[in-house]
Every structure is written in structure tokens, then in C-alpha cells.
């Protein structure tokens, strides 16, 4: 496969070489927006707790005795105090615990990541740094580093392996998220304004999602 060169910088925003990337992963011309939407929908469905629960008639406490005879009283017929028509009674067709996850092919998920990455590249919202060897876990220091890199707004910070210092620093700022390359998903790619990969991370992700 033919590759193209993408610049790499260090954490001081100085040139540090380049990385070979595949256009089949990062430079797709026809972005499949529906596939991206489906990947986001699947991601959100998996995150739903599905714990909403209401009581059916057999679960509501109360006697099963018929309250009055069927006919002759002039009142509406009633079979149980647990009827959904009464206060404190059951719920008709109410929600019950369920799993909202559904099958979404692995090939489709990987293709959706490729299309999302291509959209971010086309918008100029992807940056590659040499590594994430920061000196401290302080959030203020990480923000200063990102400012040097020209990263403004929210950012997704991707490393080949979990960096404890970066994770701690990003964890105190809701606009930042630090993840490993194998944890990259379409939802996070779209949620954050910019994506900052380490060189090893972008190569590892490319190897996984390439066609």
C-alpha cells in the first residue's frame, strides 16, 4: 500500500520527523456519514444502563380479593385492588430491565473509525506528537503543553499505552480525555475538537483498522 508522510512534533512543538500513514485509513474521499452515525448509535446503546423498572400487577402488594360483587352495586366492576386503574396499582406496559446492545459487525466498526479519522484529517484536527513523556501529572502543566502545540478547546489525547501522568492530568479537566490507541472509538473522535496522537499510538491504531 502507498503511504504518505505526516509531520511529527515534540511536546515543545518542534519538528521531530514524520510518520508514514495509509490514505486508506486517513484520507478517504467519500465519507460515509451514515456508517459513522450507526457507530455512534451502537456506542451509546452499549452505554445505556437499561435499569428502568416498573411493577406488573402480580408484583404490586395487596390482596387478590374481589372488592365487591360484579353486579348490582351501581359501581364500576373491579377485580383487584392492584389494578392499574387505581392509585398504588400496577403499571401497564411499563419499562423493565433490558439490554440495549445490538450486533454491529467488527468490520463495520473499523470502517466507521477510518471514515471518522478521515473526516478529522480533512478538517485539520489531528496532530501527531513524538511521545507523551510529560514531566508531571499536574493539569496546569498539561494545558500549557497543549497550548504550545496549538491545541485549543477540547482534545482527545491518544497514547500507545496508558500514561499515568497524562491520565491524571487530563482527568481533572472535562475538556480532555486520555485513552490508549486500542480504545479509540467514533463517538470520542467526534466529541472532541482535536485529536492528539503519539507516533506509536497512531501507527498501532492504523494497524488495527486498516482494510
**What CATH number should be reported for the domain holding residue 115?**
3.40.1370.10
Note whether 140 and 198 are same-domain residues.
Answer: yes
What is the predicted pLDDT for the residue at 162?
74
pLDDT 10s digits, 138-176: 999 999 999 999 998 899 999 988 788 999 999 989 999
Residue 120 has pLDDT above 90, yes or no: yes
Note whether 39 and 67 are same-domain residues.
Answer: no
What is the predicted pLDDT for the residue at 58?
87
Note whether 17 and 110 are same-domain residues.
Answer: yes
State which residues form the domain around 186. 4-48+102-209
DSSP 6-67: EEEE-TTS-EEEEEEE-HHHH--SS--HHHHHHHHHHHHHHH---------TTTS-S--S-S
> How many structural domains does the chain have?
2
pLDDT 10s digits, 67-91: 999 999 999 999 889 999 888 899 9
pLDDT 10s digits, 175-196: 999 999 999 999 999 999 999 9
What is the predicted pLDDT for the residue at 102?
92
Q: What residues are paired with 155 via a beta bridge? A: 176, 194
Which of 99, 114, 136 terminates a domain? The answer is 99
Note whether 132 and 193 are same-domain residues.
Answer: yes
Note whether 10 and 37 are same-domain residues.
Answer: yes
Note whether 72 and 166 are same-domain residues.
Answer: no
Amino acid at each position: 500500500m502507498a503511504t504518505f508522510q505526516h509531520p511529527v512534533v515534540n511536546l515543545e512543538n518542534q519538528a521531530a520527523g514524520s510518520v508514514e500513514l495509509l490514505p486508506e485509513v486517513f484520507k478517504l474521499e467519500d465519507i460515509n456519514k451514515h456508517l459513522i452515525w450507526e457507530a455512534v448509535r451502537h456506542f451509546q446503546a452499549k452505554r445505556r444502563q437499561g435499569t428502568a423498572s416498573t411493577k406488573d400487577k402480580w408484583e404490586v402488594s395487596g390482596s387478590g380479593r374481589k372488592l365487591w360483587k360484579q353486579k348490582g352495586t351501581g359501581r364500576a366492576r373491579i377485580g383487584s385492588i392492584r389494578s392499574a386503574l387505581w392509585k398504588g396499582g400496577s403499571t401497564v406496559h411499563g419499562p423493565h430491565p433490558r439490554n440495549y446492545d445490538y450486533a454491529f459487525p467488527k468490520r463495520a466498526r473499523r470502517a466507521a473509525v477510518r471514515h471518522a479519522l478521515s473526516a478529522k484529517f480533512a478538517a485539520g484536527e489531528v496532530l501527531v506528537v513524538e511521545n507523551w513523556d510529560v514531566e508531571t501529572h499536574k493539569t496546569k502543566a498539561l494545558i500549557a503543553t497543549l497550548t504550545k502545540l496549538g491545541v485549543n478547546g477540547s482534545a482527545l489525547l491518544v497514547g500507545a499505552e496508558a500514561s499515568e501522568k497524562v491520565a491524571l492530568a487530563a482527568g481533572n479537566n472535562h475538556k480532555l480525555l486520555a485513552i490508549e490507541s486500542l480504545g479509540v472509538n467514533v463517538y470520542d473522535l467526534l466529541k472532541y475538537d482535536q485529536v492528539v496522537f503519539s507516533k506509536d499510538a497512531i501507527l498501532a491504531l492504523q494497524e488495527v483498522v486498516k482494510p
